[in-house]
Amino acid sequence: MKHLTAVLISALLLPSSLCGQGTVTEVGTGFGVNIFSNGGTVTSVGIPGPGIGAIGLLTSAPVYASFFFDGGAMVQPEIAFRYISANGGTMTTVATVGNVGFLFGRADENALFLTVNGAWQYVDVDEESEDEFGAGGRVGYRIVVNEGFAVSFEGGYRRWFDSETNEIVFGLRLGGVF
């Protein structure tokens, strides 16, 4: 678990170390709906959320940080964590997503965005663990309010490979702009 924690912290801090002067950063979470399908359908509604993860009921709401660079490039790592302990058993889930995309405008103005992403989920139930990888993309519209707050409306798709699960996401993100 120590190695996992170090990797996750590094993944969140890497974009900030690459940023030069004038880069805009946004940090937040949101709410929305995940629809999962791999033969059956599971719908997960989260506030905050939508969650990230391959299994609808195990998704956790992410915290994200967006880094906007000159020219419209954006990097957006997300992380979600859940720990449950009951009746002597434990369950831990960790999910991360790395979004790389393009903002069709400046970071300080309203603009359309498009991202591609890779995702990883780790689930440990009573010391038996498994992980899952996925990839997908999102499209959305970001509105900057009073230079210190941003709202993003977005929709996306992700394919989780091992479980052969399709994930469709509709969400609203709320973030502070720094």
What pLDDT is recorded for position 11?
A: 53
CB 143 within 8 A of CB 107: no
CB 32 within 8 A of CB 61: no
User: Cα(7)–Cα(159) distance, rounded to whole angstroms?
Assistant: 23
Q: Angle at CA 168, nearest 5°, toward 53 and 66?
A: 65
Per-residue pLDDT tens digits of the chain, which is 178 residues long: 545 555 555 555 555 445 444 578 999 998 888 888 888 887 777 666 667 776 555 667 789 999 999 889 999 999 988 888 988 899 888 889 999 999 999 999 999 999 999 999 998 999 899 999 999 999 999 999 988 999 999 999 999 999 898 988 899 999 999 8
Fold of domain 2-177: Porin (2.40.160)
User: Cα(110)–Cα(103) distance, rounded to whole angstroms?
Assistant: 10
Domain ranges of the chain: 2-177
Identify the three-state secondary structure at position 13.
helix
What pLDDT is recorded for position 112?
A: 98
CA-nearest of 168, 154, 131, 133 to 38 is: 168
CB 82 within 8 A of CB 46: no
